[in-house]
Structure formats: structure tokens, C-alpha cells
Amino acid sequence: QVIKCKAAVLWEANKPFSIEEVEVAPPKEHEVRIKIVATGICRSDDHVITGALVMPFPIILGHEAAGVVESVGQGVTSVKPGDKVIPLFVPQCGECRSCLNSKGNLCSETDLGSRAGLMPDGTTRFTCKGKAVYHFAGTSTFTEYTVVHESAVAKIDPAAPLEKVCLIGCGFSTGYGAALQTAKVEPGSTCAVFGLGGVGLSVVMGCKVAGASRIIAVDINSDKFAKAKELGATDCINPKDFNKPIHEVLMEMTGGGVDYSFEVIGRTDTMTAALACCHCNFGVSVIVGLPPAAQKITFDPMLLFTGRSWKGSIFGGWKSKDAVPKLVADYMKKTFVLDPLITHTLPWTKINEGFDLLRTGK
């Protein structure tokens, strides 16, 4: 059956979301239709609104969520109606080169490429006012019901609180994994984290769990420092308080640079600053923030020649379908907390207010 429900449709860039009635088609073969219970707002969604991430319109955004399976298409074996699930913006098909490589997690079935905005068969499951509406990141969670491919959904503990574990669908896992999986932070090491939004705070948590002895949090909004300290930051610095480049400040603070640095903002200037602040020979810098479209980085290659490593991390390096149920289990065992990452809970019709809170750093 086609389901009619409400969704937040973005008709064009730089405009607010419009709450519309949409038709959601039934799942086709190897597809799953999900009733979304809770969804987080991520800066990557905002990048589509501003044009920093180019996507086709009209579109239903959202990629960090949790819900309940409503129905499944033919051939679906990993979930059934009634299961609690988290949609995966990085799928795991289990067959492509990345899925088969122990070091890889960026499945070739991801929507972050040529197929932007459509299901794997090249069509959409959403219609609004007679118009086809595009999907986002294979998930589209700003809607009461969505359809995802079976490779893009993970079954989780039925006892998990969906309004909390939805963050494991993106922000928390991305930051936590960047520290544990991508950088592989060791006990006793020093770390610098640029950007203290939800993902940056999750990096701080990952560094702490890994046993880092010093975690320096960097943000131009000092209001974020108290929470960073609560989650494990040992020092907090605001680049605005210094009259020299922030990488020089960090170099001095650490006697030659940190072991690991993380850029969790998505700005090219902070990416190069994060690279420059890690130790010239064995430092590792990880790009976690989504880079803006059509911007290039210019940097001195000597920064790398002396031995530094520059890495990227998508979804924290986790193999999504395998890792998400385990991360939810870890949350249930209280291995980590999610409450401090949740600042506001709104009815989803107030989604535009939610984005305003994100943009003002609240």
C-alpha cells in the first residue's frame, strides 16, 4: 500500500522546510519501509540547504534516525516488520571492494556519488503534489515514513530508547569512531579536537575511552567548553584569544605538536591548521567534518614529507551494518553516554526552529 504521511520537504536551496503531505511507495525487492520515531539534525543536512553539498531538489533530507520497520519488500531477510532499526547513510552490501576489505567501510552502494537522490534502481519512493521527490543519503529521515535498501538498515536492541540511539546513526558514531577506528588513539597520547558540536564532542569521548592523557578542545564558541570538559577534554582553547595562528599555540602547549588532531568542522582553513598542529614526524590528523563543495586546499607539502599522516574518516570508519547494533549494545551497557549530546527535543513540525538552533551554535 502507498502510505500518505507528513514530511519536511525542501523545495529549493536557502529556503525553510515545508511540512507537506507526501506519498511513500511500498518497498520494492530488497527494500524496507520504516516508520521514523526520532531523527537528529546534522550539519550535513544544513550543507544541502546552503548549497555547500550539492543535491537535486525537491528533496527530503535527514540521515540520523531510529524507527520501526513497517513493511519489507521481497527477499528481505535481515529485518522484519516491528523490528527497531537505525537507517544507515553508509550502507554495507557485503560484496564490494570496501565491504570485503577489513580496512574499508565506504560501501560502493552509498548515495554519496553518481546516484545522488535515488534508490539503487534509479527511482524514488516519494511523491508530493504529483512531483517526484529525491531521497538524501539513501535514508531521508525528515518524514514519518521512509524507504531504504536492505543494505542500509541495521536491526538494534528492541529495548533501546530510539530518541537517544538515533544519534548512533551519524553524529556519535562518526566522532567516536574517528578516534577509535580511524586514528586508533593510544593510551597516554595527546589529542586536539577542532570543533565542539555533537560530532566533535563524540571525538572527545572516543579519545578519552582510548586513554588519551591530554585532550585539547578548540572552538571559537567558549560556551561549548563546559560540556567538552564534562566529556573528557583536559584543556579548552579559543583561537580568538590569541594573536598568533592556533597551530603555533598548540605546538607550544604540547612541546612540538599533538599525536592526533581532528578537524570536525568542515572548513579548509581549520583542516590545514589541524594538520600543522600535530607532531611533524609521527602526528596523525583526521578530517571528520564534511568538506565544502568546490573548495580546494593549498598547503606546504613539507608538512607531510617529514612524516605526518593525513587521513579522512567517514561514519567513523565503522562497517555500518555490523557496528551499529554493537554500538547500541555498548550504549545499553553504559559504555558511553548520549544525553549530553542532546540539547533540545522538539516536535518535528518545528524542524526549522531546530535548524536555527544549530546555526546559532545552541
Active site residue 44: yes
277 closest CA partner among 264, 299, 287, 262: 262
Catalytic position from the list 170, 191, 207, 278: 170
Active site residue 170: yes
DSSP state string for 126-162: EEETTEEEB-STTT--SBSEEEEEGGGEEE--TTS-H
Active site residue 247: no
Catalytic position from the list 63, 135, 247, 279: 63
Burial class for 135, CB neighbours closer than 10 Å (0-12, 13-18, 19+): buried
Residue 20 host element (H or E): strand 18-24
* Cis peptide bond prior to 187, omega within 30° of 0: no
Strands 145-149 and 31-39: antiparallel
Catalytic position from the list 44, 261, 285, 313: 44
70 closest CA partner among 125, 135, 8: 125
Catalytic position from the list 5, 18, 30, 42: 42
Contact 280, 308 (CB under 8 A): yes
Active site residue 47: yes
CA dist., res. 34 & res. 81, Å (int) = 9
CA dist., res. 111 & res. 33, Å (int) = 18
DSSP state string for 97-111: HHHHSTT----TT-S
| Backbone φ and ψ of 355, nearest 5° | -70, -35
Enumerate the H helices of the chain as residue ranges.
43-50, 97-100, 162-165, 171-177, 198-209, 225-230, 246-254, 268-276, 302-305, 320-332, 351-359
Active site residue 135: no
Residues labelled catalytic: 42, 44, 47, 63, 170
